[in-house]
Structure 1
Amino acid sequence: MKNIPTVRTLSCALLLGMSIISGWVPAAYAQTSVQSSEVVAPAALRTITVTGHGEVTVQPDIAYIQLGLYTTGKTAREAQEKNAQQFKTIHNALIRLQIAEKDIQTVRFSTMPEYTWENNKQQFKGYQVEQIVQIKYRNLEKIGQVMDTAVAIGANRIENVWFSSEKIEEHKLAAMDKAMDNARLKAERIAKHAGVKIKDIVQITDNITPQPIPMYRQSVVADYSAQEKSNASSQVYPGELKIESTVTATYSY
């Protein structure tokens, strides 16, 4: 009878050992282990998004003049030959005004039938040819002289005159700098009123801006017959160019 506790002890030890090997542990001997699987999400980034605007005003240094010739003929060939002959005279006059060949570019050339409306019927009249060239001119003080000379030797179309700058990209970057400064100023002002401080810039978008629109642009239409009688010359005024830039910027705070 005295050996019974010893036998029981050995039996329990043997049972425990076998249970551990098989992976089963009696509740009396099991130890509870708790591991936390909770993932703490990062705090949401707090941001301020603003749109900044910048513009620069500059004096134009180049002009674009569109002028040309409209001719008619009974046949398309006749109208084209007449146009070519008269336009050669115009072209030579432009060269004499020290306009380089590379600065004279044809922007429109068309040949089409011409009709009139008579007795409630459409009547074929012949053909018309129109040729328009674009001239790049840098001596802005003599633009009127260029137009007057062209008209005097046969040009009967002066369509547009507008101004730009050969440093346009440089002016665009200056406008962009101002837009960025404006965006920063707006963000700081908003943050100040909200009682916070801006930290880093997280995103910048350069909004697509159309080509600078000249503050002066007009379609030139003049009564040259009256002008010749008065000996007056055409006057064209360059005005100023306004170049704009817009950016959207997001700042963290």
Structure 2
Amino acid sequence: MPAFRPLMAAATLIVLGAGPLIAQPAPTDAPPPAGMGVHPMKHAAFAKLTVTGTGQATVQPDMASITLGVSTRAATAAEAMTQNAEQQAKVIETLKAEGIEARDIQTSGLNLSPVMDYSDQGQPPKLTGYGAQNSVTVRVRDLAGLGAVLDRLVASGANEIGGIAFARDDMTEVEDKARSEAVADARRRAEVMAQAAGMRLGRLISLAEVGSGGGPRPMMAMRAQAAGAADTPIEAGELTVDANVTAVFALRPLDAPDGRPAAPQGTTESAPEN
């Protein structure tokens, strides 16, 4: 058998030179290959912690959106539309006289419908006329004078106000502040949970924003009344912006060295022999 020894030695050299053993470690539950004086690297699976964080920021509004309109009734459809158009034209003229730009005035509804009388029981309903409605959505950028503007609009012919919604022209800064608060909240929660579990927080694995919301308050519905001597009181309040994030962190044992998870108890890590 001496003639075969060079071939066996050559085969051993090919296996050792095939590539680093660390790149393809043997399974932790498999015995090391016979005849090789190398301990395979054993990697411990690390735990992951998923948390959510919420953030909130407030800001003063600098504009308001108002839905207002004119409702008229007449014996014929044509008459109802004519009266409505004349009255709505006065309302729009008043808006422009108050400094509202054309880009901030938009027609949001136009309706013509028959008016029926159902008071006689057992009798078919009777047509008593036609009703016309024309509404516009207006952005008012001068909140200080909003109450006075509303009063003048009512005096000019507007007899319906659907609601007021407050907003801010640029919400970028307050939205970013809410996001920062949400991320900080997620990390705080993760640190508390890691400490409670007897672990310490590792690196951030992933971070995503989910379903953030905020902005204008819900509109309040109201019916316009005749203008009085005092301006209609308007309170703008504050706008609240909410942000929500989901973060995934690695969890590491307290005694794990920085940079990688610790190996399971009872195992050793060693570099491959050269």
Structure 2, unmatched stretches of 5+, are 5-24, 29-41, 252-274
1:46-66 C-alpha deviation (Å, 9 max, x unpaired): 111111010001111111111
The answer for unaligned runs of 5 or more in structure 1 is: 1-12, 14-19, 21-36
Q: Is the 8 A contact 1:113 1:126 kept in 2?
A: yes
2:45 matches 1:47? no
After superposition, give the CA deviation of every residue in 1:148-201 in whole Å (9 maximum; x if it has no partner): 011101110011112111122332121111100110111111112222221221
Residue 250 of structure 1 aligns to a residue whose secondary structure is strand
1:130 aligns with 2:128: no
Residue in 1 aligned with 2:114? 113
Q: Distance in 2 between matches of 1:112 and 1:211?
A: 37
Deviation larger for 180-189 or 199-208: 199-208
Equivalent-residue separation in structure 2 for 1:222 and 1:211 (angstroms): 28
Structure 2 matches for 1:129-168, cutoff 5 A? 129-168=132-171
TM-score (norm 2): 0.72
CA RMSD of aligned residues (A): 2.3
Q: Give the Å deviation of 1:222.
A: 4.9
For residue 218 of structure 1, what is the aligned residue in structure 2? Answer: 220
Provide the residue aligned with 1:59 in structure 2.
Answer: 60
Give the distance between the partners of 1:42 and 1:127, measured in 2 at CA. 81
CA distance in 1, matches of 2:43, 2:133: 69
For the residue of structure 2 that corresponds to 1:149, the secondary structure is helix
With normalisation by structure 1, the TM-score equals 0.78
What secondary structure does 2:154 align onto? helix
Residue of structure 1 equivalent to 2:238:
240
Q: Give CA deviations for 1:19-68 in whole Å, capped at 9, x if unaligned.
A: x9xxxxxxxxxxxxxxxx96449643411111101000111111111111
1:111 CA displacement: 1.4
Q: Is the 8 A contact 2:160 2:224 kept in 1?
A: no
Give 1 or 2 for the bigger CA radius of gyration.
1
Compared with structure 1, are the counterparts of its residues 74 and 221 closer, same or farther at alpha carbon in structure 2 (3 Å cutoff)? closer
SS at 1:197's partner residue? strand
Kept in 2: contact 1:161–1:220 (CA 8 A) = no
Matching of residues 4-15 of structure 1 within 5 Å: none
Which structure 2 residues correspond to residues 28-39 of structure 1 after superposition, within 5 A? 39=27
**Structure 1 counterpart of 2:53, which letter?**
G
Equivalent residue number for residue 5 of structure 1: none
Q: Please state whether the residue corresponding to 2:211 is helix, strand or coil.
A: coil
Give the corresponding residue for 1:70: 71
What is the distance in 2 between the residues matched to 1:45 and 1:194?
14
**Are 2:102 and 1:101 equivalent residues in the alignment?**
yes
Whose helix proportion is higher, 1 or 2? Answer: 1
Percent identity over the alignment is 30
Is the CA contact 2:50–2:246 (under 8 Å) kept in the aligned structure 1? yes
Q: Distance in 1 between matches of 2:26 and 2:193?
A: 37
**Which letter does structure 1 place at the counterpart of 2:172?**
E
- Aligned-pair CA distance for 1:128: 1.1
Change (3 A) 1:221 1:73: closer
Structure 2 partner of 1:170: 173
1:25 is aligned to: none
Partners of 1:245 and 1:65 in 2: how far apart? 27
